[in-house]
A and B are shown apart, each in its own frame.
Chain A
Amino acid sequence: MISIVVALDLLREAAARRWFLALALALTGLLILIVTSLRLEVVDGALAATRLFGQPLYHQIQPADVALRPVFLVASQVVFWGGLCFGVLGCADFGPALLSPGRIEYLLSLPVRRWELLLGTFLGVLALALAGAVYASAGLVLVLGAKTGVWTGWPVVSSVLAAVAFGSVYAGMLAVTVWVRSAALSAATGASLVLLGLLATHRVALLEVMGRGVGRTLFAGLTAVVPPLGKLADAAGALASSAPLAPGGLVRLLAGTLAFAAALLALAAWRFERRDF
C-alpha cells in the first residue's frame, strides 16, 4: 500500500517535469496531426483511397484491417524503441532524486520500509512508461478506428510489452543508482542494457562468428541473462499487426524478462537495506 503512495507521488512529480509534459504534448500533437491531415476513404470495409496532407498515398484497394496492419506494426516499433530511449533518458533522474541528501533521510524517518520506497519508485516509473505507451497506441487505435471503422485492441496490448521491456531496463538503472547516486550513470546503464538486449536477440548468430576467448565468454554470459529486447519488440509488432505468434514463446519471453527485473530489484533492495544515508 505504501509503495502505491510512493508511486503516486512519483507520478505527481513527473507531471511537473518538462520532459514528460513535452512528451505528452508531442504525442497529443502527433495524434491531432494524424486526425487533421490523414483522410481514409473506406467503402464496404475496404480502403479505397488514402490521402495525407491532400496527397494520395495508396492506390491499391484492400480490406481496411489488412491495410492497417503495417501501420500498427510500425507504430508498435516506434512505441517500443522510442519509449525505451525516452524512458532511459527521462527516467534516469528518478532514482537519484529519491536518494538525494535531505530527501532520503526524511523519507527513511517516516514509517516506510526501505523496500517499499524502492518498489514504489519502480512501480511509479513503470506506470509512467505504461501510461505513455498506452496513450500513444490507444490514441492511434481511436483515430484510425474512427476513420476506418476497424477497431482492435492488440496495438494497446503490444504497448504493454514495451512497458514490460522498459521495466526490466529500469530495474537495472535503479539497482545501479542504489550503489552510486548518479543520473548519468543510471542513463548509461539503461542505454547499455538496451544495447545488450538488442545483441542478446542475435546472440546465437553473434556467438558463431566470435572467436574463442574472454570476450566471447563475457558476451555469452551477459547476453544469457539480459532479456532479448529485439524478440520482445518483434512480439509486440506481431501482436499489434495481428500476425501469428507462438503463445508459449511469448510467455517464456515475458517470464524471463520479469525474472530479470525481479532479480535486479532484489539485488537493489538488498543493498538499499544495508546502506547508510
Chain B
Amino acid sequence: MSAAFAATSLHKRFRTRFGRTESVALDGVDLEVPRGEAFGLIGPNGAGKTTFIKCLLGIAHPDSGTVELLGGRPEDPRSRARVGYLPERLTLPGAWTPRAFLASVARLKALRPERSGLDGLLARVGLAEAAERRIRGFSKGMRQRLGLAAALVGAPDLLVLDEPTDGVDPLGRVEIRQLLAAELARGATLFINSHLLSETERICKRIGILSRGRLVRSGPLEALTSVQQRWRVRFAPGPPLAPEALLALGFEPAEGGAWEIAAPDAPALNRALDGARAAGALLVELERASRDLEEVLTEALAAGAA
C-alpha cells in the first residue's frame, strides 16, 4: 500500500524576530502513514503537532528533511487539491452563510459549487437547517462542524483534522465519529491531531506520540496499549475462591475484581490457569492486559524526558 504522506527527518526551529532565541519545534521526525488508514498524533501542548501538520501541508517550511504528500510535494497545488484540512482554530467569514462559505472553498479548489452537493455536505455535518443563517451567529460546535464540512469539499483522499471534535457536544462527537468512519470506508486517509485521547482511541487504529519535537512512539494502537506477557483474567463468582491460592499461583488482583498474571508464553499461561481451575476457579474471561492511551502517553513522555 502506498503512503498518503511520508515525512523524513523533519527539522523545524522557530526564531524570534531578532533571531536571539530559538525553539525546536520538530527534531528529526520520521513518519509514514499508509493510504486508507486512520492515524492519530497525540502529545502535550507545544510538542510540535501543529507544526508537523503545517510542514505536511506546505504552510510552514521545514529547515531540513522532506515531505511527500500523496505522491507529490506539499508546495504543489495538485497534491493539496486532494487534501481536506480542518485547522485547530478556523476563522470564518461571519457575514457569510455556510453555503456561501462552502461555495467559496469549492471555487478555490477549482470545483463547481453545486448547490445540492453543498447542501448535502451541510446535512452530513448536521447544519442543514442553518444553511441560510449568518456564520457570525454560530456556536463553537457549529463552526467546528462547518470547518469539517469545508474539509470534506471535493471528497479528498487525505483528511488532516486538528482537534476535529473540539467544542462539539457528546452527541455531535458521535455523529462526527460516524462521519469519519464513513470517510474511512470510502477509502480516505485520516490524520487526526487531538488532545482528546479517548476520541483518538475510538477513531484511529495507529497512533504516534510526539514529544518535544520528536516522535517517541508510533505504531498500531493495540500494540502500544497492550502489555506484553501480561494477561487479565476473570473468574466466575460462585464457590468462594481463596485469594491466597491465586496469589500463590502468581495472580495479582486487578481493577473490578479481575486478576492479572505474567506469563512469558502460552504453556506458562495455561499452567497458571490449570492451577487456578484446580483450586476451584471457573474461568469466564481472558484477554491480553492493556493500558489506556493516557498511560501510554504518560509513559512515553516520561521516557522521552529521560
Contacts and interface: CB of A to CB of B under 8 A. Distances in A.
B59 A277 contact: yes
B234 interface: no
B99 interface: no
B208 interface: no
A6 B105 CA distance: 10
Interface of B: 14, 54, 57-61, 77-78, 80-81, 83, 85, 87-91, 93, 95-96, 100, 104-105, 107-110, 150, 160
Interface footprint category on A = 20 to 34
B83 to A, nearest CB: 7
Given A5-B108, A12-B100, A106-B85, A111 B91 contact: no
B104 A9 contact: yes
A22 interface: no
A274 B108 CA distance: 22
Contact of B80 (A2, A103, A109): A109
A10 to B, nearest CB: 10
A2 B61 contact: no
A112 interface: yes
B87 A2 contact: no
Given A16-B95, A110-B80, A105 B54 contact: yes
A44 interface: no
A108 interface: yes
B102 to A, nearest CB: 12
A101 B91 CA distance: 7
A111 B109 contact: yes
Given A9-B104, A13-B93, A274-B61, 17 more contacts: A2-B110, A5-B104, A5-B108, A12-B96, A12-B100, A16-B95, A16-B96, A101-B91, A105-B59, A108-B58, A109-B58, A109-B83, A110-B105, A111-B80, A111-B109, A112-B108, A276-B60
A102 interface: yes
Nearest to A100: B91
